[in-house]
Amino acid sequence: MTIYPLKFNPILKERLWGGTKLGDIFDKPIENDITGESWEISTVKGDISVVSNGELSGKSLQDLIDTNAEEVLGKSVVSRFGKEFPILIKFIDAKQDLSIQLHPNDELAKKRHNSFGKTEMWYIMDADEGADLIVGFNKDVTKEEYQKSIENDKLLDLLNYEKVKEGDTFFINTGKIHAIGAGVVLAEIQQTSDVTYRVFDFNRKDKDGNLRELHTEMALDAMDYTKKDDFKVAYDTTTDTVNEMVDCPYFKTNYINLTKNLKQDISSRDSFTIYMCVSGEAIVANEFGEATVKKGETVLVSANSKSIELKSKRATLLEVTI
């Protein structure tokens, strides 16, 4: 099957902590002032991406995978994940602090939820002055110390805060307590999973006046209680080349800063390729066609592509493969 670079209709998510920047900055068609997420590429049940460009417009990504799995995903991806798209791609606007949470690993998620775990990475696209993230603990703690801090409403005293600016990148492995802070807009790449253990939500109430559910007990056996400085990603920003950012078992992400056209031979890749445009505008082309992406847009190139050409005089892209 000849599959040109595919764009999808954004799946917009209303969130208690969301704002308007997905519309203000990226021109997403938001309908309210608490839009927190734009799911760019998804096959999560009930939130399956639909093609928005070209002759395949209106087709769902899952339909394309079901009928052309190896061509879309790659043989190696199908051997690992079957006909499931293994990652979920999002843009997130945090007008308020997100809840403090963590995600279980594959083993625990499979046992409890028949799901994958949730390893993820964040690339900061915009941040208000003074904005920060919570990533991990500020010291080693015991399970008992952690439980006591929850009981006494002192959890915040144990957490590590990181000031952020555009371009900062964080890798969030399973078990690590974390939260996105107010004033941050970011690109998120994660395993296909919606399993989250919320442990503290600043005692906020939803629109109906109810406190949101916490997962205090479930989090205890999923959490890493040690202080680790393994989350900040250092990467090269050399122009017009592919710079490695993250290489983990679930996804690989590269940073590409374009000032001219860049052609890549991907005949041996055996994986789909995703481009998230985090600044500027570019044309993504394979042998079957092309698509234009601007800041805040995403494109999927099928695994049966032999080459990719990125055409731009000014753009920054995150390249994601398996």
* pLDDT tens digits, 73-96: 999 999 999 999 999 999 999 999
Q: Which helix (H) or strand (E) holds 66?
A: helix 61-67
Residue 113, annotated ligand binder? Answer: no
Whether the per-residue pLDDT at 267 is higher than 90: the answer is yes
Return all residues near 170 (Cβ < 8 A) that are at least 6 apart: 121, 122, 133, 135, 162, 231, 232, 233
Q: Please, which pLDDT band fits residue 49 given cuts at 50, 70 and 90? A: very high
Catalytic residues: 198
Task: Characterize 34-62 residue by residue with b for buried, 16 or more Cβ atoms within 10 angstroms of its Cβ, and e for exposed.
Answer: bbbbbbbbbbeeeebbebebbebeeeebb
Q: Please, which pLDDT band fits residue 194 given cuts at 50, 70 and 90? A: confident
How many whole angstroms from its chain centre is CA 166? 16
- Give the pLDDT confidence score for residue 203 in this predicted structure: 86
CA–CA separation, 201 vs 203, rounded Å?
Answer: 5
What's the average model confidence in pLDDT over 264-287? 98
Number of H helices, E strands in the chain: 7, 21
Q: Please, which pLDDT band fits residue 104 given cuts at 50, 70 and 90? A: very high
Q: Do domains 11-220 and 243-321 have the same CATH topology?
A: yes
CA–CA separation, 10 vs 28, rounded Å?
Answer: 8
- Give the pLDDT confidence score for residue 144 in this predicted structure: 97
Residue 120, annotated ligand binder? Answer: yes
- Give the pLDDT confidence score for residue 82 in this predicted structure: 95
Of the listed ranges 119-123, 140-144, 206-210, 243-247, the one predicted with least confidence: 206-210
What's the average model confidence in pLDDT over 136-143? 98
Checking phi first, is residue 232 left (phi over 0); if not, alpha (psi -120 to 50) or beta? beta
Angle of CA points 133, 138, 143, to nearest 5°: 110
- Give the pLDDT confidence score for residue 89 in this predicted structure: 98
| pLDDT tens digits, 196-244 | 999 999 988 877 888 889 999 999 999 999 999 999 999 999 999 999 9
- Give the pLDDT confidence score for residue 1 in this predicted structure: 82
- Give the pLDDT confidence score for residue 212 in this predicted structure: 87
Q: Quick one: tokens of 135? A: 């990533």
Q: What is the mean pLDDT of the chain?
A: 96
- Give the pLDDT confidence score for residue 226 in this predicted structure: 97
Task: Give pTM, 2 decimals.
Answer: 0.96
What's the average model confidence in pLDDT over 4-12? 98
CA–CA separation, 290 vs 250, rounded Å?
Answer: 27
Instruction: Provide the CATH number for the domain formed by 11-220 in this structure.
Output: 2.60.120.10
Indicate the domain borders of the chain: 11-220, 243-321
Instruction: Provide the CATH number for the domain formed by 243-321 in this structure.
Output: 2.60.120.10
Q: Do residues 193 and 117 lie in contact, with contact meaning Cβ atoms separated by under 8 Å?
A: yes
Residue 178, annotated ligand binder? Answer: yes
Q: Quick one: tokens of 243? A: 């710079």
